[in-house]
Chain A
Amino acid sequence: MPAGSTYEPIATTTLGSSQQYVTFTSISGSYTDLVLVVNTTGASSNVNYDLVVGNGSVDTGSNYSATYIQGNTTAPSSTRSTNATQLRLGNNAYTQASGGNFMAITQFLNYSNTTTYKTVLSRQGNPNLSVEATVGLWRSTSAINIIRIGDSGGITMAAGSTFTLYGITAA
């Protein structure tokens, strides 16, 4: 009997023009974990990649916390956020022409259960700015069926940016 699927694509978006948010809705609860792969070609100004999740609608309340470890061109650092309204995965201040790409691989573990808070693990970076690892928490026992990424401050992400959501099944 063939092995079950591993990374199974759920949805993908390539921006034809700049926009503020990319949202994945009606995410099936049939997987074990989710993986979001983001690859952006840059932006006209400093874009923050703010991640929010929810059930039915995104939660923008103060229900997120995270620990970040970051290395830039000169020094490492580690920071925390608590009672935040989003998980901030990083920012990109370079355009495609000047060689700035932001990339993130973000995992949502056991996202569809209704008994625990939800943990997010992410690796992201821009080779001209920094490389980072993040562990985040959404303090809700609701299943995640909506994910949104983009700058809550209104800056848009550039055309050509790609966002793909995969499902992973444990068995």
Chain B
Amino acid sequence: MANTYTLISSNTVGSGGTAQVDFNSIPQTYTDLLIKTSTNASSLTIIRIRFNSVSSNDYSQIVLRGTGAAVASFNNAGWDTLSAFSPSYNNDGANIFSNNEYYIPNYTSSNIKSISGDSVTEANATTAYTLLYAGLLNNSSAITSISLLPSTGNFAQYSTFYLYGISNS
């Protein structure tokens, strides 16, 4: 059977929301990982991503951000998580979900890890987020777990999270 995106795990948030989404015991049999999410949060928040529960200051990233009213780029260095994406710009309400993707190549290698991501939200408002990320985890361990957590509040019901493995052979 030809190789494809192989779904490793999925999570759909139920009633009441959830404070954190975890992918644990990630198989080490793929080449790359891909995270795709559709998210809404209970408050204006930043979604953070953490690998292997590493909370030392080993994360850095450059962000390119457009809102429709302004464009900016900046870097975050020496953080304890990656700032992954924002579900909404203005706390746009229960029906607006952001679309987000994070790609991690060679996640089982003993090299430091690169992460490439993008995030978009559209709410028919004056402003909304479009973001590009280039991230780094300065850690040589293979990735075996991934956590996504809002900086404040919870992921709202109906938010979805999918983790795929991609093989190069």
A binds B: yes
| Chain A residues proximal to chain B, CB less than 8 Å | 2-3, 5-9, 12, 37, 39, 41, 69-76, 96, 99, 101-105, 123-133, 160, 162, 164, 166
Cross-chain contact of B60 among A7, A71, A76, A128 (Cβ < 8 A): A128
Q: How far, in angstroms, from A80 to B62 measured CA to CA in the complex?
A: 21
Q: Is the interface of A mostly helix, strand, loop or mixed?
A: strand
- Cβ of A71 and Cβ of B73 under 8 Å apart? yes
Q: Is the interface of B mostly helix, strand, loop or mixed?
A: strand
Q: How many residues of B contact A (CB 8 A)?
A: 38
Residue of A nearest to B75 (CB): A73
Cross-chain contact of B103 among A76, A105, A127, A129 (Cβ < 8 A): A105
Cross-chain contact of A6 among B4, B63, B169 (Cβ < 8 A): B4
- Cβ of B4 and Cβ of A8 under 8 Å apart? yes
Q: How far, in angstroms, from A41 to B114 measured CA to CA in the complex?
A: 9
CB B59 to nearest CB in A, in angstroms, measures 9
B72 close to chain A: CB less than 8 A: yes
A96: B residues at CB distance < 8 A = 111-112
CB B94 to nearest CB in A, in angstroms, measures 30
Cross-chain contact of A123 among B5, B60, B132 (Cβ < 8 A): B132
Cross-chain contact of A41 among B64, B103, B111, B138 (Cβ < 8 A): B111
Residue of B nearest to A10 (CB): B168
CB A70 to nearest CB in B, in angstroms, measures 7
- Cβ of A130 and Cβ of B62 under 8 Å apart? yes
